[in-house]
């Protein structure tokens, strides 16, 4: 091994100066300004090179640390590549690791030189230690050099049938890397994915599903056979894997099961038609949830208790998209819990709650107070909470909510205060009981000192009056008075529009307003100018006696305005309203055009249509489809054949261990809750551990740690009241005649006998080897 | 999933970058800076930003932005949660998650990031595993390392990663076996002007420090587990056991960790341990106002309320404040307009009071809203919900561990509107 390493270092040494020159010549012209700086860089790198050449590990380590420091800062350290790559076979673990870090960063840029390191990894892939095999595969697959694709493919294939689940996990990761490097390998990779999906280890499950999602999400048929296994493993998969699996299973379930919502949906038609009722009754009777569908819901539920916000969110979206509507409510408690978390988590969770609360108010109504705003919340959180509060508002809670809103309106955060006014407007339109109260409240706000608050109130009042074309002459008069003080363009424009629209209700004030604004026309904002023209036109049509001259004056001003838009509008209005020989047939209809009944604006939540994106996804957050977003399909009308998910029971021996012969002895024993048996059990497991510790270190550690965990597993699997199976140990031994021991006991007494006999069997077996 | 990570400090310098796939140019951060400029303060920078070719998901922790670059659809919470885990790990390793700490330990940071993600997918995030892979720096170790030339990278390969209990490292040995549990409860409340409670809720956590040899199997039971309404668990806890018996049964990780966090059911009325009397007013057409706040104890079961601190974000128009405190000391920062009053312990005989004049900018309109008072406090040896640990049993090991439980109640987001 050392001989090999030497030969590589020689090669590397030859290549080094060449490359150094090349790098220098190519980079210097492009940055002439930094030339001086660059020179000193070369010098510095020279001494780094020397350190790397040195025979002392400490010097090499120092050099590597400095190089990694450079990489971390984003400085270019690529010219050191040849010097660094020589150390890939270093005995010192830290040097080796740092070289790996460096390799993964620069191998893509220096492909030829990177090839020098490949054989080191190939050798390590055969190492007896699984961790070394795994890390070799990791680095090998992270070097993005197209030439080695066949080598990678081979390594992945081999690793996918490795004895160690950890190596197989890394193989699953490597699949994605190879796929992004060379998508043409897809077919071969799918084969590997198919094989790994069958794996029963919790370590592998998350990673292989991730690979599946990235390489072949459309091959949903690969999941069938593994569906139940994935559901059952889910609780024990690490948290990141859980998120990926849950998202994938959500997609899967939507293609395979019929909708559990149909029943409640069709209930709406009940009253109308008697026959329909009977038919629906039938539908209701015939719908029974597929047991596999139920299994998924049942096995994800405990994960709502996870400490990981992403897992909780994933389960919540699963329930939202898959569970019967009556059951989806259980997620709200957990989602509300997440609101105690960091601002970023709050932001995403609140967005999702906002979407949910539009469709199913009931889910979050009990938690109304959890969405009350604190003055210390960031503005984006405040507005989201406000959004949810508005969605949850109903006749019962509106009075408490309005009281709460009163506090918010006074907030120092003016952006938030403005949003609150919008919210009040929405409540007023949605709940007719409080429309007048809200309107009065908003009118009170018109005398507020803050301009933004007043402006927002004006805009909202405008919308409200439009939806309620009752007699609100008083309010319009009040607003006309305000016009002198308000400077915010939107607000001024809104007032002018209102006066114009309802000019017949305020016949005395309207011309006066036009007079005042005509005076200030030139100083107004474009938005306001347009509305002045609009007001003029409307008055001209309804009250031409008083306003004819004024309107013409305004139109003249508009004609010579700087803005295209205003000049255009002026021309357009003049042609329409002022009758002359050239004016076309349209001017007859001018009044109809200007004073037509306008549809009231809808005050809607911005989260209204977001639910067509799967909840919890990036696309949902951004409200646009992100790259790689996988659409959730609609429920099928008729469920596809459920028998595809059936698995033969004989498969319980993991066959993925491939060529290795393994002795797998699993002891299933029934134990009661009494401490007595517990002790016995522990004693036995200890015995086994000690007796085999020499064989494989990894196996023994795996075994000793697995016993307690699997204890909980088995408990969860067994039905309550029945006996519990405890898997005591799983031992992997190489070079042995194949000998598979299966001991399944159904009665304690029988079981103990079997255990003792198997122990002696094991001992004889050891002698035999 | 996660393509690259950039660490950016408050002044906008990118001081660390790490790529797990092909290199993404630093210029992608320009979109982030743009969004940052638009936001009024750091708190308002949107966590998810869309750019033409990438998506940026960021968190803000300890004055550092962790900006991750994403190329395709991924649950945003997945990334956010992971970034926080990274920050937690730094905190755990270096004692603080600051720019200087990261810069000083850049090699360890890089090694950690390398282990935590493989091709953008989380690989090892459990602190127990990471600590076996890469030893945290200590003064002693760095001295020893510099003399002997040994390294921070563990020379034994971690086996925890391979086991079904990835959170616990193997071969733990202590001479003193100890298990400590801190039951920490926080009161979140909004109190309105008149002193009545708008909203109050108790949130609690049990933080543990477990130093036990071998593979102990613990079970912790409560006197009144019914109090716990909503619970989230560390992965080590056996869920079924909790469901059926309301007992926490687990093989603990080694060292410090959060065992559970919980919310106390909302049916129980929350006893608010302090009351605040306040008189804050700004006079019309004059450049001054009055400020008078008294804090007093209430219903605290005979325990003293300690470490009381009040912070107030005063309106922008406030120039300065001339106050006298009967107890503790106060500071007013004229730039951020934050008033902080460090009260200390409250003694019922002599209630702490802070009183005086507020100077306003002349000519500015009178602030229409009085600021909210944020109160912090601590009560030792009391869990305000009444939660009590019944017993802790250990199985699987022979020795007798030393056990301890500590209760503490704190103010969470405790706000008094005025």
B319 contacts: CB under 8 Å, gap ≥ 6 = B334, B359, B360, B361
pLDDT at residue A682 in the model? 47
Q: Cβ B77–A340 below 8 Å, yes or no? A: no
For residue A520, being part of any structural domain is answered with yes
pLDDT at A465: 80
Give the confidence band of A19 by pLDDT, cuts at 50, 70, 90. very low
Question: From the list B75, B217, B412, which residue is nearest A247 (CB)?
Answer: B75
User: Domain check: are B116 and B182 in the same one?
Assistant: no
Same domain, B184 and B319: no
- Which residues of chain A from 398 to 437 reach within 8 Å of chain B, CB to CB? 404, 407, 410-412, 415
* The pLDDT of residue A752 is above 70: no
What pLDDT is stored for residue A475 in this prediction? 80
Identify which has the larger pLDDT, A676 or B54: B54
A553 domain residue, yes or no: yes
- Does some domain include residue B77? yes
Strand partners, A664: A740
Residue A649 confidence (pLDDT): 56
- The answer to whether residue A517 is domain-embedded is yes
Q: What is the pLDDT of residue A470?
A: 63
Q: What is the mean pLDDT of residues B149-169?
A: 62
According to DSSP, residue B385 is labeled: T
**A336 close to A304: Cβ distance less than 8 angstroms:** no
State mean pLDDT over B258-287.
83
Are B33 and B142 in the same domain? yes
Using the beta-carbon criterion (under 8 Å), do A310 and B77 form an inter-chain contact?
A: yes
pLDDT for the residue A372: 92
Beta strands in B223-337 (DSSP E): 228-233, 247-250, 255-264, 274-282, 288-297, 306-313, 318-325, 329-333
Say if residue B94's pLDDT is above 60.
yes
Closest CA of chain A from B196, distance in Å? 13
For residue A722, the SS3 value is coil
Does A97 sit within 8 Å of B81, measured CB to CB?
Answer: no
Burial pattern B319-340, b for ≥16 Cβ within 10 A else e, equals: bebebebebbebebeeeebebe
In a domain, B362, yes or no: yes
Evaluate whether B264 touches B300 at the Cβ level (below 8 Å). no
- Tell whether the model's pLDDT for residue A705 goes beyond 70: no
Biggest CA pair distance of chain A? 119
In a 3-state reduction of DSSP, which class is residue B328? Answer: coil
The answer to whether A594 and A585 are in contact (CB under 8 A) is no
Local structure of B194: helix, strand or coil = coil
- Bigger pLDDT: A507 vs B3: B3
Same domain for B44 and B97, yes or no, is yes
Instruction: Inform me whether the pLDDT recorded for A337 exceeds 60.
Output: yes
Residue A582 scores a pLDDT above 80: no
Q: Which residue has the higher pLDDT, B101 or A704?
A: B101
> Stretch A298-307: mean pLDDT, rounded?
90
HSE toward the beta carbon, residue A328, CA cutoff 13 A: 22
Output phi, psi for B5, to 5 deg: -135, 135
| pLDDT value of position A668 | 34
Give the percent of chain B with pLDDT over 70: 92
Closest Cβ opposite residue A210 in set B121, B125, B313: B121
Q: How many domains does chain A have?
A: 1
Q: Do B168 and A302 touch (CB under 8 A)?
A: no
Q: What are the phi and psi torsion angles at B368 (to 5°)?
A: -85, -20
- Residue B261: inside a domain: yes
- The number of folded domains in chain B is 3
Q: Give the per-residue pLDDT at B268.
A: 65
In angstroms, what CA-CA distances link B238 with A721, B175, B199, B259?
Answer: 18, 28, 33, 12
Question: Which pLDDT belongs to residue A174?
Answer: 92
Contact map slice: A 630-669 vs B, CB within 8 A: 630
Check A376 against B114: CB less than 8 A apart.
Answer: no
Q: Are both B249 and B395 inside the same structural domain?
A: yes
Residue with structure tokens 């305020």?
A: A506
Q: What's residue B150's pLDDT?
A: 55
> What's the average model confidence in pLDDT over B123-141?
78
Q: What is the dihedral of CA A165, A171, A173, A177, to 10 degrees?
A: 180
- Assigned domain for A710 exists: no
Residues 440-459 of A with CB under 8 A from B: 448-450
Residue from A71, A168, A618, A725 whose CB has the most chain B CBs within 10 Å, to mutate: A618
* Nearest-angstrom CA–CA distance, A685 and B351: 63
pLDDT at B300: 61
Q: Are residues B117 and B258 in the same domain?
A: no
Q: Which segment of A395-399, A628-632, A650-654 scores lowest on mean pLDDT? A: A650-654
Question: What pLDDT, on a 0 to 100 scale, did the predictor assign at position A731?
Answer: 34
CB B60 within 8 A of CB B42: yes
Which chain A residue has the Cα nearest residue B122?
A: A240
Is residue A199's pLDDT more than 70?
A: yes
With cut-offs at 50, 70 and 90, classify the pLDDT of residue B186: very high
Cα B78 from Cα A239, distance rounded (Å)? 10
Cβ(A116)–Cβ(A83) below 8 Å: no
pLDDT, residue A657, reads 40
ipTM of this complex prediction, to 2 decimal places: 0.91
> How confident is the model over A109-123, as a mean pLDDT?
84
The arithmetic mean of pLDDT across residues B85-112, rounded, is 89
Measured between beta carbons, the chain A residues lying within 8 angstroms of B369 are 410-412
For residue range B148-157, list pLDDT tens digits in order. Answer: 555 555 555 5
Residues B348 and B304 reside in one and the same domain? yes
Q: Range of A550's domain?
A: 473-603
Does B54 fall in a domain? Answer: yes
Output the pLDDT for position B75. 92
SS3 sequence, A265-319?
HHHHHCCCCHHHHHHHHHHHHHCCCCHHHHHHHHHHHHHHHECCHHHHHHHHHHH
Note whether residue B314 is domain-resident.
yes
Q: Does A186 touch chain B (CB under 8 A)?
A: no
Q: Of how many residues is chain A composed?
A: 769
Q: Who has greater pLDDT, A624 or B132?
A: A624
Q: How far is CA A194 from the centre of its chain?
A: 26
- Identity of the residue in A166, A336, A410 whose CB atom sits nearest the CB atom of B368: A410
Mean pLDDT, range A116-131, rounded to an integer = 84
Q: Judge if B92 and B109 occupy the same domain.
A: yes
Rounded to whole angstroms, the Cα distance separating A490 from A498 reads 12
Average pLDDT over residues B225-229: 86
How far is A457 from B299, CA to CA, in rounded Å? Answer: 43
A662-679: per-residue pLDDT in tens? 333 333 333 333 444 444
| B211 has pLDDT over 80 | yes
HSE-up of B206 (CA within 13 Å, CB side)?
23
Q: How far apart are CA A230 and CA A236, in angstroms?
A: 10
Contact status, residue A12 vs residue A113, Cβ threshold 8 Å: yes
The answer to the question of residue A581 being in a domain is yes
State whether B23 and B83 are in the same domain: yes
* Chain A residues whose beta carbon lies within 8 Å of the beta carbon of residue B102: none
Question: With 70 as the cut, is the pLDDT of residue A712 above it?
Answer: no
pLDDT at position A150 over 80: yes
Query: DSSP label at A631?
Result: P
- Own/partner contacts of A436-440, CB < 8 Å, gap of 24 or more, are A437/A402, A438/A402, A438/A464, A439/A464, A439/A468, A439/A472, A439/A475
Cβ B164–A202 below 8 Å, yes or no?
Answer: yes
**Given pLDDT bands bounded at 50, 70 and 90, which one contains residue A64?**
confident
Least confident of A104-113, A262-271, A455-464, B231-240: A262-271
Same structural domain for residues B335 and B357?
yes
Distance from CA of B26 to the nearest CA of A (A): 8
Evaluate whether A207 touches A245 at the Cβ level (below 8 Å). no
Calculate what percentage of chain A has a pLDDT beyond 70.
74
Which residue carries 């193997």 as its tokens?
A: B170
Residue A36 clears pLDDT 60, i.e. is over it: no
Q: Strand pairing partners for B255?
A: B210
Choice between A737 and A382, residue whose per-residue pLDDT is larger: A382
**Complete edge-to-edge strand list for the sheet that includes strand B247-250:** B247-250, B217-222, B389-395
What share of chain A has pLDDT > 90, as a percent?
12
| Tokens coding A472 | 């609100």
Asked if the structure places residue B172 within a domain, the reply is no
How high does pLDDT run on average in chain A?
Answer: 75
Burial level of B161, CB count in 10 A (0-12/13-18/19+)?
buried
pLDDT at residue A396 in the model = 87
Strand partners, B395: B217
Does residue B266 share a domain with residue B211?
yes
Average pLDDT for residues A564-593, to the nearest whole number?
79
> Looking at the domain assignment, is residue B289 inside a domain?
yes
Per the structure, the complete domain to which residue B237 belongs is given by 178-270+382-416
Alpha carbon A467 to chain centroid distance?
38
| Cβ contact, residue pair A343, B316, below 8 Å | no
pLDDT, mean of residues B214-235: 89
Quote the CA–CA distance of B18 and A519 in Å, as a whole number.
62
Q: Taking a C-beta distance cutoff of 8 angstroms, is the pair B49, A380 a contact?
A: no
Residue B299 confidence (pLDDT) above 80: no
Residue B158, in any domain of the structure:
no
In terms of average pLDDT, the best of A5-9, A648-652, B44-48 is B44-48
Nearest CA in chain B to A408: B369
Q: Do the Cβ atoms of B77 and A210 come within 8 Å?
A: no
Q: What are phi and psi of B212, to 5 degrees?
A: -125, 140
Residue A699 has pLDDT above 90, yes or no: no
B41 compared with B50, residue with greater pLDDT: B50
Residue A631 inside a domain? The answer is no
Instruction: Judge if B296 and B252 occupy the same domain.
Output: no
Integer Cα distance of B81 and B92 in angstroms? 16
Closest approach of chain A CAs to the CA of B349, in angstroms? 32
Task: In whole angstroms, give the CA distance from residue A518 to residue A506.
Answer: 18
What pLDDT sits at residue A414?
A: 83
| pLDDT exceeds cutoff 50 at A388 | yes
CATH number at residue B32: 3.30.450.60
């Amino acid at each position: 091994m050392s001989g090999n390493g030497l030969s590589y270092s020689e090669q590397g040494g030859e290549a080094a100066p060449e490359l150094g020159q090349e790098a220098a010549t190519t980079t210097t012209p492009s940055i002439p300004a930094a030339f001086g700086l660059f020179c000193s860089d070369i010098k510095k790198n020279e001494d780094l090179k020397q350190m790397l050449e040195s025979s002392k590990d400490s010097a090499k380590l120092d050099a590597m640390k400095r190089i990694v420091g450079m990489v971390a800062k984003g400085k270019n350290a690529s010219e050191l590549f040849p010097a660094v790559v020589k150390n890939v076979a270093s005995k010192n673990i830290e040097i080796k690791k740092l070289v790996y870090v460096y390799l993964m960063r620069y191998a893509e840029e220096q492909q030829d030189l990177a090839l020098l390191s490949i054989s080191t990894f190939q050798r390590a892939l055969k190492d007896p230690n699984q961790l070394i095999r795994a890390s070799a595969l990791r680095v090998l697959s992270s070097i993005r050099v197209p030439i080695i694709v066949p080598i990678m493919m081979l390594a992945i294939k081999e690793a996918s049938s490795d004895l160690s689940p950890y190596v197989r996990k890394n193989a699953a990761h490597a699949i994605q890397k190879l796929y992004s490097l060379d998508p043409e390998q897809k077919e071969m990779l799918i084969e590997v994915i198919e094989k790994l999906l069958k794996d029963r280890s919790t370590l592998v499950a998350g990673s292989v599903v991730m690979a599946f999602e990235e390489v072949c999400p459309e091959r949903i048929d690969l999941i069938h056979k593994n569906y139940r296994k994935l559901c059952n493993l889910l609780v024990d998969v690490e948290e990141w894997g859980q998120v990926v699996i849950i998202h994938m299973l959500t997609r899967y379930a939507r293609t395979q099961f019929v909708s559990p919502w149909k029943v409640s949906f069709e209930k709406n038609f009940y009253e109308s038609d008697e026959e329909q009722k009977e038919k629906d009754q039938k539908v209701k009777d015939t719908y029974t949830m597929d047991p596999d569908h139920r299994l998924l819901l049942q096995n994800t539920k405990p994960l709502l208790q996870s400490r990981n916000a992403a897992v909780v969110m994933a389960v919540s979206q699963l329930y939202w998209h898959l569970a019967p509507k009556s059951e989806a409510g259980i997620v709200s408690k957990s989602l509300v819990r997440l609101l105690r978390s960091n601002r970023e988590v709050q932001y995403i969770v609140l967005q999702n709650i906002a979407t949910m609360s539009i469709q199913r108010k009931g889910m979050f109504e009990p938690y109304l107070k959890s969405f009350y705003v604190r003055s210390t919340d960031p503005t984006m959180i405040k507005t989201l909470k406000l959004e949810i509060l508005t969605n949850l508002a109903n006749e019962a809670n509106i009075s408490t909510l309005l009281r709460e809103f009163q506090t918010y309106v006074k907030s120092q955060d003016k952006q938030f205060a403005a949003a609150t006014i919008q919210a009040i407007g929405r409540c007023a339109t949605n709940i007719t009981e409080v429309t007048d109260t809200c309107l009065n409240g908003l009118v009170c706000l018109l005398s507020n000192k803050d301009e933004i608050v007043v402006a927002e109130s004006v805009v909202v009042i405008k919308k409200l009056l439009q939806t309620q074309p009752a007699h609100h002459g008083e309010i319009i008069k009040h607003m006309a008075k305000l016009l002198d003080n308000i400077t915010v363009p939107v607000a001024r424009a809104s007032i002018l529009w209102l006066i114009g629209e309802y000019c017949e209700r305020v016949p005395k004030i309207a011309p006066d307003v036009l007079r005042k604004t005509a005076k200030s026309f030139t100083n107004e904002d474009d938005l306001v100018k347009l509305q002045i023209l609009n007001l003029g036109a409307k008055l001209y049509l309804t009250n031409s006696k008083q306003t004819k001259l004024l309107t013409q004056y305004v139109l003249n001003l508009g004609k010579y305005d700087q803005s295209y838009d205003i000049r255009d509008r002026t021309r357009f209005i003049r042609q329409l309203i002022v009758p002359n020989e050239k004016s076309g047939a349209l001017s007859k209809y001018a009044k109809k055009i200007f004073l037509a009944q306008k549809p009231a604006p809808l005050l809607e939540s911005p989260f209204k249509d977001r639910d067509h994106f799967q909840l919890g996804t990036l696309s949902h957050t951004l409200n646009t489809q992100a790259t790689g977003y996988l659409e959730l399909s609609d429920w099928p009308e008729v469920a596809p054949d459920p028998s595809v998910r059936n698995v033969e029971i004989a498969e319980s021996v993991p066959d993925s261990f491939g060529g290795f012969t393994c002795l797998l002895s699993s002891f299933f024993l029934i134990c009661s809750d009494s401490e007595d048996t517990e002790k016995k059990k522990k004693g036995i497991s200890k015995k086994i551990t000690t007796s085999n510790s020499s064989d494989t270190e990894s196996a023994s550690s795996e075994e000793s740690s697995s016993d307690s965990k699997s204890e909980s597993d088995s408990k969860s699997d067994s039905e309550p009241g029945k006996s519990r199976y405890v898997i005591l140990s799983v031992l992997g031994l190489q070079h042995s005649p194949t000998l598979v021991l299966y001991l399944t006991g159904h009665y304690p007494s029988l079981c103990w006998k079997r255990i003792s006999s198997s122990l002696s069997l094991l001992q004889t077996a050891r002698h035999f080897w | 999933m996660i393509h690259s990570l950039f660490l950016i400090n408050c002044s906008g310098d990118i001081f660390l970058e790490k790529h797990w796939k092909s290199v993404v140019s630093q210029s992608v951060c320009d979109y982030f800076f743009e969004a940052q400029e638009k936001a009024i303060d750091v708190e308002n920078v949107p966590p998810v930003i869309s750019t033409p070719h990438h998506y940026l998901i960021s968190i803000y922790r300890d004055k550092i932005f962790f900006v991750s670059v994403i190329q395709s659809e991924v649950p945003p919470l997945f990334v956010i949660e992971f970034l926080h885990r990274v920050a937690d790990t730094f905190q755990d390793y270096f004692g603080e998650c600051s720019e200087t700490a990261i810069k000083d330990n850049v090699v360890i940071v890089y090694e950690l990031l390398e282990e935590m993600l493989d091709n953008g997918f989380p690989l090892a995030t459990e602190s127990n595993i990471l600590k076996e892979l890469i030893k945290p720096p200590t003064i002693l170790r760095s001295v020893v390392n510099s003399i002997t030339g040994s390294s921070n990278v563990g020379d034994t390969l971690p086996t925890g990663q391979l086991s079904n209990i990835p959170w616990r490292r193997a071969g733990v040995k202590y001479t003193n076996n100890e298990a400590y549990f801190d039951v920490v409860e926080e009161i979140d409340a909004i109190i309105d002007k008149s002193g009545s409670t708008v909203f109050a809720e108790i949130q609690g956590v049990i933080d543990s420090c477990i130093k036990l040899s071998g593979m102990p199997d613990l079970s912790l039971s409560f006197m009144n587990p019914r109090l716990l309404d909503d619970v989230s668990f560390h992965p080590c806890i056996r869920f079924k056991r909790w469901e059926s018996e309301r007992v926490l049964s687990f093989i603990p990780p080694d060292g410090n960790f959060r065992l559970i966090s919980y919310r106390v059911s909302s049916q129980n009325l929350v006893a608010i341990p302090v009351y605040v009397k306040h008189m804050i007013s700004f006079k019309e057409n004059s450049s001054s106002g009055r400020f008078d706040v008294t804090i007093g104890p209430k219903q605290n079961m005979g325990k003293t309320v300690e470490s009381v601190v009040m912070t107030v974000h005063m309106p922008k128009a406030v120039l300065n404040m001339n106050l006298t405190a009967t107890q503790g000391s106060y500071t007013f920062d004229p730039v951020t307009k934050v008033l902080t009053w460090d009260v200390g312990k409250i003694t019922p005989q002599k209630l702490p009071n802070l009183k005086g004049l507020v100077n306003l900018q002349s000519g500015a309109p009178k602030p229409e809203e009085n600021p909210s008072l944020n109160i912090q406090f601590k009560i030792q040896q009391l869990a305000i919900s009444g939660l009590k640990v019944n017993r802790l049993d250990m199985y699987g090991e022979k020795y007798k561990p030393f056990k301890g439980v500590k209760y503490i109640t704190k103010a969470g987001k405790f706000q008094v509107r005025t």
